[in-house]
């Protein structure tokens, strides 16, 4: 009898550690790829959990645009259709999707990823809830965003902008094999969506009455190509990167591109390649390493503020600079005073 009671208590304790059903959240879901299988699957999964969701994505794929914004440039009617038929030629530059079968929760913006995120926050979210969302989710991207490439990632930049606005924000990235431009129903998208829902539920249960994330923090989550057996692991951007990005003067034209010079020449441009160098043991916690087999969850600071150690380093040097300049000014004033007395 005592052993059975002990087992019940142990099971109860273990169950208490599992994510509990999340309270309903107001969520803006955005990305940098446009209307995709990944974003549709995540929308469906979030709605099934009872969350209220507004989707706001770029009209066309805007990967690699980072935090770019077209300031003070009116978005005129579309001259070409959006990705996967989200909107048609002649539709407004931003607004509800006109693709048949999509609810009034879906919006598009003929602009950069950050513009789509801001539209979701400032227009449909305010119209529906009268305030900012409880959570901004960016992604899941069609391809992981790990290492230094996050600087160029629209997926990550959306999360950064959300956090700057004081909204708990999470960037999500999956493998390139989650693409489906026909039915928008890649089975892997649904798996990524369910894992994301679990993460959000866990954050919600751990936060209690507080915000999901501390102020000044956003998360970057990268799912591995092989999901079976993957564990959740905290990671860091670190100094090992999956990619090598460089400018070259000899970039070949992609297949099917028009060679306007007619010479079969290479052209200048930016290339991105896999990093051939292995990581060191000290880099084993870098997200570029962790994501290969596990789900890498990285805490990002908002903007470019450095860690406390870096702030202390700078503060001490600025103090010395201020002291040195003050000394120089004092000497100069004394020299000027002596010259005037002559």
Distance CA(166)–CA(61), nearest Å, equals: 27
Residues 42 and 29 sit within 8 Å (Cβ to Cβ): yes
pLDDT band (50, 70, 90) for residue 270: very high
**Concatenated DSSP letters of 122-151:** HTHHHHHHSS--SEEEEEEEES---GGGGG
Distance CA(25)–CA(121), nearest Å, equals: 14
pLDDT band (50, 70, 90) for residue 4: low
pLDDT band (50, 70, 90) for residue 3: low
Q: Provide the pLDDT for residue 20.
A: 45
H helices within 280-307, ranges in order? 287-290
Q: Domain segments of the chain: what residues? A: 18-239+280-301, 243-274, 309-342
CATH number of 18-239+280-301: 3.40.1210.10
Q: Provide the pLDDT for residue 6.
A: 53
Tens of pLDDT, residues 293-316:
999 999 999 987 777 888 888 889
Q: Provide the pLDDT for residue 166.
A: 95
Average pLDDT, integer, range 35-52: 98
Residues 173 and 155 sit within 8 Å (Cβ to Cβ): yes
Q: What is the pTM of this model?
A: 0.86
Q: At what angle do helices 154-164 and 113-122 cross, to 10 degrees?
A: 40
What backbone torsions phi and psi does residue 326 show, to the nearest 5 degrees? Answer: -65, -40
């Amino acid at each position: 009898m005592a052993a059975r009671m002990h087992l019940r208590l142990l099971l109860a304790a273990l169950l208490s550690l599992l994510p509990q059903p999340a309270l309903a959240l107001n969520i803006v879901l955005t990305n940098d790829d446009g209307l995709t299988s990944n974003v549709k699957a995540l929308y469906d999964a979030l709605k099934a959990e009872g969350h209220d969701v507004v989707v706001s994505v770029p009209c066309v794929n805007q990967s690699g645009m980072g935090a770019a914004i077209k300031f003070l440039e009116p978005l005129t009617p579309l001259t070409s259709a959006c990705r996967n038929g989200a909107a048609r030629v002649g539709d407004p530059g931003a607004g509800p999707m006109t693709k048949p079968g999509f609810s009034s929760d879906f919006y598009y913006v003929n602009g950069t990823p950050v513009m789509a995120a801001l539209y979701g926050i400032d227009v449909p979210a305010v119209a529906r809830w009268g305030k900012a969302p409880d959570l901004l989710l960016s992604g899941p991207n069609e391809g992981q965003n790990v290492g230094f490439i996050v600087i160029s990632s629209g997926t990550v930049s959306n999360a950064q902008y959300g956090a700057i606005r004081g909204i708990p924000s999470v960037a999500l990235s999956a493998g390139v094999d989650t693409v489906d431009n026909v039915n928008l129903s890649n089975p892997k998208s649904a798996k990524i969506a369910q894992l994301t829902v679990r993460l959000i539920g866990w954050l919600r249960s751990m936060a209690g009455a507080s915000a999901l994330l501390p102020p000044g923090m956003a998360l970057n989550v990268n799912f591995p190509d092989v999901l079976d057996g993957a564990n959740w692991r905290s990671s860091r951007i670190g100094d090992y990167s999956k990619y090598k990005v460089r400018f070259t003067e000899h970039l070949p034209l992609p297949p099917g591109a028009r060679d306007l010079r007619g010479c079969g020449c290479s052209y200048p441009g930016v290339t991105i390649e896999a990093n051939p160098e292995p990581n060191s043991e000290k880099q084993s916690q870098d997200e570029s390493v962790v994501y290969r087999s596990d789900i890498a969850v990285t805490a990002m600071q908002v903007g470019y503020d450095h860690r406390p150690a870096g702030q202390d380093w700078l503060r001490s040097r600025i103090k010395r600079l201020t002291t040195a300049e003050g000394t120089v000014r004092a000497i100069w004033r004394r020299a000027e005073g002596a010259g005037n007395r002559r």
